Amino acid sequence: RRAAESKPADGVGRQRLALVRQSFEFTTANVRALRMAGLDAGAGWRLEAYWDAEPNRAELTARLGVAAAAFDISALEFNADFSIEMMPAIDWVKRVQENSPPVSAGRFYIYGSHVTTPVPEGQIGIRIDAGAAFGTGTHETTQGCLMAFDRISRQSEIGSALDLGCGSGILAIGMAKLWRIPILAADNDPMAVEVTIENSEFNGVADRIQAILSEGCHDAAIGDQGPFELIAANILAEPLIAMAPEIRRHMAPDGQVVLSGLLDSQSDNVVAAYQRAGLNLADIIALGEWHTLIMQRQ
């Protein structure tokens, strides 16, 4: 069964999903999965939760209210209107595998464990299965970042890198395989940190990737191991804009940052924020309606 709320309160982004999850921890029918995505500008957010059994509507309303209060969202701003639907009986593992063929992005070849054919010659294989953390290689934002790494590698040697908002760890794995260097991977969701560790082991780069729990750049490890020659941040436009000054502080002289998770309509505002922070736009990768930016410290 699924409960979908079409418009959670403004300001609750994917980067806060871990806190939303906490508001469901002690329900009688525990939530099995949570997913949040931004809607069109000004339309808020969509939150979907999945249970084995039908949840209690009154308890859901109360739990969502707890989440709203945690974000200092007033009752007037918060919309707890939601629907509950029965999900069809589908073999989701088989469905995901059928809809998850290998993907090429630059020199990277992303595939699931169900793919038995060898990695094509000359490509860098990354094994990622669909799971609780964002980043399987099928989305344009992830592909754009991997393509950006490929472009950067043809012009620059990278000696240190940070994956900020690592999700599944796919970008950290890509950088670790491409440059064979230590990577710091950070996320504010404990599940993402666990998944990144697991995926780095599957891909044989666990010795190169350190995954940490961090809200933005606040963990001491980021300051201790920086500044970084390359930072990757595949998040969302609004938090990317807000984080521009602190990302700039953790960049090495002539360092580069790959920014993604933004629509083409949001690109100019993100570029402007990083230009104000002292970066130049080096390249744009457009895939459908999504933009990935490569920016360099002046």
pLDDT of residue 45: 65
The DSSP bridge partners found for residue 232 are: 163, 258
For tokens 């939601």, name the residue.
82
Helix axes 190-202, 170-179, angle to 10 degrees: 40
pLDDT of residue 64: 75
pLDDT at 27 over 60: no
Phi, psi of 265 (to 5 degrees): -70, -15
Average confidence score pLDDT of the chain? 84
Residue spans per domain, the chain? 2-85, 130-297
The model's pLDDT over 78-136, given as tens digits with 9 standing for 90+, comes to 666 778 888 777 776 677 667 778 999 999 999 998 898 999 999 999 999 876 556 67
Portion of the chain with pLDDT greater than 90, in percent:
60
Do 251 and 227 touch, CB atoms closer than 8 A?
A: yes
Q: Which long-range contacts (CB under 8 A, 24 or more apart) does 136-139 make?
A: 136/100, 136/110, 136/112, 136/168, 136/170, 137/103, 137/105, 137/108, 137/110, 137/170, 138/100, 138/103, 138/110, 139/290
Termini Cα distance of the chain: 51
pLDDT of residue 49: 74
pLDDT of residue 84: 85
How much is the pTM? 0.72
Portion of the chain with pLDDT greater than 70, in percent:
78
The DSSP bridge partners found for residue 285 are: 292
CA distances to 9, 15, 58, 77, 145 from 69, in Å: 11, 17, 17, 11, 35
Higher per-residue confidence, 55 vs 159: 159
Band of residue 14 on the pLDDT scale cut at 50, 70, 90? very low
Band of residue 61 on the pLDDT scale cut at 50, 70, 90? confident
Fold of the CATH domain 2-85: Alpha-Beta Plaits (3.30.70)
Do 79 and 44 touch, CB atoms closer than 8 A?
A: yes
Average pLDDT over residues 254-264: 96
The C-alpha R_g of the chain, in whole angstroms, comes to 19
CATH class of this structure's domain 130-297: alpha beta
